[in-house]
Structures are given as C-alpha cells and as structure tokens.
Structure 1
C-alpha cells in the first residue's frame, strides 16, 4: 500500500483500528527481536533507527540496556516480544530456536527457567521471521507447527558478518508465504541492502543459506591450500592474493578472507570456527537427508573439527587455512 492510498474507515472503527492503518501507511511496525548477539543487536538497532517500535528479548537482560536507552522495550519472556506485527528470531543454534518456539521447562524446579513457547503464545496476526541459520528438519517442524496453529511463519536467513550487520548491509534471503514476505519488507529494508525472495516454502531459504555457507567455507579451504603451495615454493602469497582477488575472481570475499589468511590474523570475534562448524554440520545433515553426495563438504567439516580439536574453536573460521600450512610443514 502506498503512502498516497486512501483509507476509508467505517463509523464503527475505533481509534486502535485507525492507528494500525496509519502505522502501516507510514511503514512503521511493531517488531520483536529475540536474541541479542552481535547480529540480533545490530538488527534491533537499525530497526529503532528506522522508526519501528521494537521490543527485545534476551536471556541476559544487560545486553538490551543500550537498546532500551535508544527507545526499545524489554520483554522478560519471548512471547512478550511476539505480540506486534513481526517477531524476529536471531539465535545461535537449533536448540535455542526450539526452546523459544516450543517452550522449555528446565531443571531449577522453581519456574525460573521456564520459557513459554512462541508457537502457543504468539499473537495470531504476528509473523514469525526466522533469521537464524538452522537445520532444514527444524524449519520443516516450525512450518508444520505454525500451519497447525493457523499462524504465520517465514524463513529469512541472512548473509553477512557482524560488521556487515552493523552497517545495515545484510543480504536477506526470504521464502514462505508471499503476502507475509511483502509485509516484512520494511523490516528487511531496515537491516539489509537487498532482499532475495527465493521460494514459497520456508525450507528453501534455509537450504540456500546452508549451501551459501558451504561455498564460503570451501573458498576458505581452497585459499588455504593454494597459499600453502605458493609459500612452499618460495613465491609471494600476498602477490598471489592480489592477482586472484583483484584481477581474476574480483570478489570482495576473496579479497577480505584472503587477507585474513595471508596475514594470519585469526583473532577471535563474533564469527568463529565453532559457529561455522555448526553451520557446516547442518549442511552435512541436509546433504544426507537429500541424498546429495558432497565430498568436499564432508572434508571441510573434518577441517573445522580438526581446528576445534586443536583449540582454535574461538578463532575466525579462516583459521582452518592453517591446517594446510601445517600439513605442508610451514608452521
């Protein structure tokens, strides 16, 4: 609906109805953000800056304080963040998403660690947008669960590291009900530079995200092996990177990740070997379920496991490139 559209309200319309229509005309929405890691925090910050009403939930409330100072509201349970137009989940893994959506009763015994699930307590008109990188089996369960409740669920994982999220330049890949995706577009515009609609079922976007992460990991692995070959024969691996990244592939991915490998700057950050291994493991599960042979994927999973076993789990994922150097006797 354009900002020039005419809205005709019946005499029985109340102020709440009028406010809702005005809110959508202006592009302002009530958005919940569940999960305030590096990615979720950046998303919530951009949503606030765009003028949306934002309610956040995080198990550690202290992480929300800067957002609260900027105008966000804090909910003490996930369901409280799912009473508006849209609720985003941006969580670390399948278990965290399952706990939030289906609920969790912990072992404390005093009710302090009980999480009321979104599925049963989410507002009927609220759209759940899953932006986490999660497995295809879980996405199918979520889709079935929401369909059974007559509630809306779409998948919209993103590509981009935390620094990209901070700049509001994420690439959003959305799939599911087209009408629901259209309603979410103002939110996607606030957090990303482009939105790709990739299908009409949530599992399609989830699969594309896993495939994209596999390609990224394979680029890291091949650069590590190529750099080892170049170095072992006395050539300048920095010059090799310049040729590959600027004159051959012309890719910011090769340029950025290649520089990390060439300079051996593997210091820890929000994007780690452990997290990339988790995503790779999800891709392995999807390949097995789909009966798609992916020998390189399995080799890369082993590389991540080897790095974790060597105590490099909290380093940048590019640290797997060290394995090739070590195997070549360069370290």
Structure 2
C-alpha cells in the first residue's frame, strides 16, 4: 500500500521501520528533517504534507500536541483538503477526544475514513513491534488498515465510535500516573532503609505490585537513565487532557492531579525533555535524598 506518515519522533521512527520491512511504500514528513533521517535511510521518501496526502491510501499522524494535529489536519493547508476520497486517516497522537470527533466528522464529509488510534508501549514497545492500539471510529475503516497496524502492534482494539480511542488512552495515562508515583516512592523507601534496589525490583516484579513502570522504568531510575522513551512535557499534556475530561464529567481524580503537579515541579527543575521516569528527580529534591 501507499502509506504516508507525519511525525517521526521517538516512537514514530521505529513504527515506520516496521512498515517498510513489511514491504509498503512509505512517504514521510517531519518538521525537523534530521529526526526523519533514520527512516529515510531505511527506504522512505521525504515529501511535503500535500504531496504525501495526495499519494497515500493511509495517512498516519504521530505528533506532539492536539494543536499540531488540528493544524496539520484541519488548518488552512490541512491534509484533509488533499487526501484521496476513500483514503483513511489514522491519528496515533494522544490528543483530545473532542478533536477526534471533529476530525471524524470533517473527514466523513469528504469521503475519507478517520480513526483516532493512540498507542501505549513506549519506545521499547515501538521497537519490538508490540504496541497496544486503542481505536475510535468504524469497524469498516479498521478492517482496511488492520494488517498495517499489526506490523508494529501486539493488540489492536476498536473501543467504540470516534473519540473513544482517545478516552481509552486517558484511562491508560491515569493508571500509569499511579504506577509512576508508586514506583518512585517505593524506590525511595527501599533505598532509605538499606535495600539493594536491583534485588528489590527483581523481587517485587514477580508479585502483584509489578508494572512496566516498576520493572522497566524503575530500573532506568536506579541506573540514572532519564533519556526519553516518552517526554515529560508530552505526559503533562496527556494528564491535562485527562483532567479536563474528568472536570467535564464532574469526576474528582485527586491522585491524577497530584502526580501532574509533581511533574510540573520536575519541569521547573529543567526536566521537560527527560523521560517520564525522571519523576524520581522531583521526589529526590522534595526529600533531599538521592537513590544513586
């Protein structure tokens, strides 16, 4: 198939490589050309968004913020104005459910299918081709793209109509927030009382308290590895969307709000472009105690 991809960040690069390995023709665009270089070297063609849209059966987005999605899709030079009738637009960005619904409606009016399809699994899941894809839209559209999604995914689920893929990702991020603060506080407690943190992680991960935050990101924390598999600033964006949606539904989620504030403290300390595991740094500062 002729596939277009806009946004080759930390996860997008690996996902694009899987598509190329599967034998599809891939056109890509990224605002920073250097970040697209690994995909170009793997066989993709770098083109401008209009040409990409005009020549693609499926267009994938993997962008940073809802405002980026809105500009690329619905803006004055938006790709919906140039995509072929019958093409499919797939937005892997974690974005606003309300925006996903608007894009679905605008695409439908032009004879284009639209699916909001945020993913979970981080940089490792993208590299290993075992992402979870949470889709909102229509089954007929998902059936058309399912074979492509499967080249970098282990689990693809249609959660309901437009916007419900994004709502599912909000649940994912809410649960992750609890796992992240639990991991950080557990490691601080363990270090303070003299436990070997590597042994602690290996012991706990075989029990009921295990999570990816604990077994994968916890180990990165212990090693002082704060390189991004997912940027702090992007996670704050996700938590902001979740809190806005919770407010709209009159839900009180105090744990989510607390973790978001701690991530804001991390940004104030210069950690916006760290990986989410850098939450440890904010709590180390709060306690004047370092685990490394």
Instruction: Tell me, yes or no, whether TM beats 0.5.
Output: yes
1:228 aligns with 2:183: no
Task: Report if the CA contact (8 A) 2:3-2:58 is conserved.
Answer: yes
Partner of 1:155: 116
CA shift, 1:97, in A, is 0.8
Compare 281-290 and 252-261 and name the one that shifted more: 252-261
SS of the equivalent of 1:247 reads coil
Are 2:160 and 1:216 equivalent residues in the alignment? no
After superposition, the C-alpha distances for 1:82-126 in whole angstroms (9 at most, x for unaligned) are: 53221101111112111110125xxxxxxxxxxx21122211111
Check whether the contact 2:231–2:276 (CA below 8 A) recurs between aligned residues.
yes
CA contact (8 A) 1:55 1:81 kept: no
- CA–CA separation in structure 2 for the residues paired with 1:218 and 1:53: 40
Tell whether 2:234 aligns with 1:258. Answer: no
Unpaired stretches in structure 1, ≥5 consecutive residues = 1-28, 105-115
Q: Give the secondary-structure state (helix, strand or coil) at the position aligned to 1:248.
A: coil
The residue number in structure 1 matching 2:272 is 313
SS at match of 2:72: helix
Aligned length: 290
Contact conserved, 2:263 with 2:282, CA < 8 A, in 1? Answer: no
Matches within 5 A, 1:182-331: 182-199=143-160, 201-261=161-221, 263-331=222-290
Q: 1:238 & 1:101 partners in 2: Cα distance?
A: 46
Q: Does 1:101 align with 2:73?
A: yes
- Secondary structure of 2:272's aligned partner: coil
- Partners of 2:135 and 2:28 in 1: how far apart? 22
TM-superposed deviation, 1:254:
2.1
| 2:85 alignment partner, one of 90, 102, 124 | 124
Aligned-pair CA distance for 1:253:
4.1
Contact kept in structure 1, 2:136 and 2:165, CA below 8 Å = yes
> Structure 2 CA distance, aligned partners of 1:62 and 1:234?
45
Does the Cα contact within 8 Å between 1:88 and 1:128 map onto a contact in 2? Answer: yes
- Cα RMSD of the aligned pairs, angstroms, is 2.1
The equivalent of 1:178 in structure 2 is 139
Cα distance in 1, alignment partners of residues 54 and 263 from structure 2: 36
Distance 1:245 1:139 in 2: 36
Corresponding residue number in structure 1 for 2:8: 36
- Cα deviation digits, residues 179-227 of structure 1 (max 9, x gap): 000111111111212212222x121111111210221122111121223
* Separation (CA, whole Å) in 1 of partners of 2:37 and 2:220: 33
Q: What is the CA-CA distance between 1:278 and the residue it aligns to? A: 1.5
Assess, with a 3 A threshold, how the Cα gap between structure 1 residues 320 and 60 changes in structure 2: closer, same or farther.
Answer: closer
**Cα separation, 2, equivalents of 1:35 and 1:97:** 10
Using CA pairs under 8 Å that are at least 6 residues apart, name the structure with larger relative contact order, 1 or 2.
Answer: 2
TM-score using structure 2 length: 0.90
Partners of 1:314 and 1:131 in 2: how far apart? 20
- Contact 1:136 / 1:207 at 8 angstroms: preserved in 2? yes
Structure ID, larger Rg: 1
Q: What are the Cα deviations for residues 216-258 of structure 1, in whole angstroms up to 9, with x where unaligned?
A: 1221111212232333344444443333212333444421122
Alpha-carbon offset, residue 65 of structure 1: 4.3
Structure 2 equivalent of residue 48 of structure 1: 20
* In structure 1, distance between residues paired with 2:257 and 2:286: 18
- The answer (yes or no) to whether the contact 1:78–1:100 under 8 Å persists in 2 is no
